[in-house]
Amino acid sequence: MTGLRVVVADDHALVRAGIRALLSSHGIDVVAEAGDGRTLLEEVRKHTPDVAVIDIAMPSLDGIEAARRVSQISSETKVVILSMHADERFVERARRAGAKAYVLKDEAEDRLIRAIKRVAKGTTCLSGGDGSADETLTPREREVLQLIIEGKKNREIADVMCRSVHTVRNHRARLMRKLRVRSAGELVRAAERLGLMVSAADASGSSRGGRTG
């Protein structure tokens, strides 16, 4: 037994089950699972795991922002990002969010096992580059952007974030100003073009093409 305690976050139950089986076969204890970013944060607060394995594309709170908050909640919990995207922009965003490893889902299973064991020992398994466009966005603005990409309206966003509609409108206006767009559609296209967010719909589409844990 390795003695490692891990929380797994992915919005597909079958993927989580596959990851749990893989980790368990290597003596790694999966203490909790989460299907979205907000549930993940609750589980991290509850269990303080050694490692959080986080899918980059999840509903409610995407993997990058979830990684940022995990690092704030528990300095003892190291983050491994799982992704279908090899784009260096996402790797850099993960690094700046506090992730210690970035593992592609089409890599060999032992790559994930090695990454988990190495980050638990304090090793960083990714490289960093230059800053990207989301450096100008606040955590709240990134959260609103995520929810806009998911198609939520101001009232729905306000309910999810427990904020007033007026506050959400202000966040949306600042987002559009910073990204130099004039509509929600342009905002989403700008975010995707700049690599600021990966929507849950993207991950779902990828999974239909043979996504595995």
Q: Show the tokens assigned to 199.
A: 């929507």
Q: Show the tokens assigned to 41.
A: 């944060």
Sign of the Cα torsion 106, 208, 88, 69 reads negative
Mean pLDDT of 105-130: 80
Residue 198 is predicted with a pLDDT of: 56
Tell me, yes or no, whether 66 lies in a domain: yes
d(CA 32, CA 77): 13
Domain range spanning residue 180?
133-194
The CATH number of residue 86's host domain is 3.40.50.2300
H-run or E-run covering 193: helix 184-194
Tell me, yes or no, whether 201 lies in a domain: no
In this structure, the answer to whether residues 116 and 13 fall within a common structural domain is: yes
The count of structural domains within the chain is 2
In this structure, the answer to whether residues 142 and 182 fall within a common structural domain is: yes
The CATH number of residue 154's host domain is 1.10.10.10
In this structure, the answer to whether residues 85 and 169 fall within a common structural domain is: no
Q: Please count the residues of the chain.
A: 213
Residue keyed to tokens 């967010």: 197
Banded pLDDT at 39 (limits 50, 70, 90): very high
Q: Where does a domain end: 88, 120, 152?
A: 120
d(CA 196, CA 135): 10
Tell me, yes or no, whether 200 lies in a domain: no
Q: Show the tokens assigned to 39.
A: 């549930």
In this structure, the answer to whether residues 110 and 190 fall within a common structural domain is: no
In this structure, the answer to whether residues 111 and 148 fall within a common structural domain is: no
pLDDT tens, residue by residue, 68-107: 999 899 989 999 999 888 777 888 889 889 999 999 887 7
Computed over every residue of the chain, the mean pLDDT equals 83
Q: Evaluate if residue 203 carries a pLDDT over 60.
A: no
Strands (E), 41-147: 51-55, 78-83, 101-104
pLDDT tens, residue by residue, 137-192: 777 888 888 888 888 999 999 999 888 898 899 888 888 888 888 888 888 887 77
End-to-end C-alpha distance for the chain, whole angstroms: 22
Residue keyed to tokens 């940022």: 68
Estimate to the nearest angstrom the gap between the alpha carbon of 119 and the chain centroid. Answer: 17
Collapsing DSSP states into helix, strand and coil, what is residue 53?
strand
CB-side exposure of 141: number of CA atoms within 13 Å?
A: 19
In this structure, the answer to whether residues 107 and 9 fall within a common structural domain is: yes
Let me know: does 47 contact 4? Beta carbons within 8 Å.
Answer: no
In this structure, the answer to whether residues 76 and 15 fall within a common structural domain is: yes
- Whole-model pTM: value is 0.64
Tell me, yes or no, whether 204 lies in a domain: no
Nearest to 112 by CA among 199, 34, 70, 120: 120
Collapsing DSSP states into helix, strand and coil, what is residue 8?
strand
